[in-house]
Homo-oligomer: A and B are copies of this chain.
Amino acid sequence: MVVPLNERKEQILKAVVINYIITAEPVGSRTVARSHRMDLSSATIRNEMADLEEMGYLIQPHTSAGRVPTQLGYRYYVDNLIDIDDLSADDEMAISSSLSTEKMREIEQIINNSARVLSSATNQTSLVMGPQFQKSAFQHLRILPLDDKRSLVVLITDTGFIKNKVIEMQQQLSPSELHQVVSYLNQKLYGLTIDQVTTSLINELKRDLFRRLEILEQAFILLEESLMEEKQIRVFLGGTTNILNQPEFKDVDKVRRMLNLFEQEPLLFKILEDASSEDDIVVRIGAENEYEDIKECTLITGTYKIHDKTSGIVGVLGPTRMDYSRVISVMRRLVDYLNQNLSS
Segment at the interface with B among A205-213, A253-261, A329-337: A253-261
Q: Chain B residues with Cβ under 8 A from A245's Cβ?
A: 256
How far in angstroms is the closest Cβ of chain B from A318?
15
Whether A152 pairs with B146 at a CB distance below 8 angstroms is no
Q: Chain B residues with Cβ under 8 A from A260's Cβ?
A: 241
Q: Is A156 an interface residue (CB 8 A)?
A: yes
Instruction: Report if A255-B244 is in contact (Cβ < 8 Å); known contacts: A146-B140, A152-B154, A162-B166.
Output: yes
Complex Cα distance, B121 from A248, in Å, reads 31
Instruction: Report if A156-B152 is in contact (Cβ < 8 Å); known contacts: A259-B244, A263-B240.
Output: yes
Complex Cα distance, B308 from A228, in Å, reads 33
Q: Chain B residues with Cβ under 8 A from A146's Cβ?
A: 140, 142, 156
Complex Cα distance, B164 from A162, in Å, reads 8
Give A165-204 interface residues, CB cut-off 8 Å to B. 166
Q: Chain B residues with Cβ under 8 A from A152's Cβ?
A: 142, 154, 156, 162
How far in angstroms is the closest Cβ of chain B from A9?
37
Q: Is A3 an interface residue (CB 8 A)?
A: no
Other-chain residue from B106, B144, B250, B259 in contact with A144 (beta carbon distance below 8 A): B144
Q: Chain B residues with Cβ under 8 A from A166's Cβ?
A: 156, 162
Q: Is A1 an interface residue (CB 8 A)?
A: no
Q: Chain B residues with Cβ under 8 A from A142's Cβ?
A: 144, 146, 152
Q: Is A22 an interface residue (CB 8 A)?
A: no
Q: Is A89 an interface residue (CB 8 A)?
A: no
Give A113-144 interface residues, CB cut-off 8 Å to B. 140, 142, 144
Closest to A162 in B: B164
Q: Could you say which of A144, A166, A245, A260 has the most chain B C-beta atoms within 10 Å of its C-beta?
A: A144
How far in angstroms is the closest Cβ of chain B from A174?
15
Q: Chain B residues with Cβ under 8 A from A240's Cβ?
A: 259, 263
Q: Is A252 an interface residue (CB 8 A)?
A: yes
Give A222-265 interface residues, CB cut-off 8 Å to B. 229, 239-241, 244-245, 250, 252, 255-256, 259-260, 263
Apart from A162-B166, A239-B263, what 15 extra A-B contacts exist at CB < 8 Å? A140-B146, A142-B144, A142-B146, A152-B154, A154-B154, A162-B164, A240-B259, A240-B263, A241-B256, A241-B260, A245-B256, A250-B252, A252-B255, A255-B255, A259-B259
Show 17 residue pairs from A and B whose CB-CB distance is below 8 angstroms, ordered by the A residue.
A142-B144, A144-B154, A146-B156, A152-B154, A152-B156, A162-B164, A164-B164, A240-B263, A241-B256, A241-B259, A244-B252, A244-B259, A245-B256, A250-B252, A252-B255, A255-B255, A259-B259
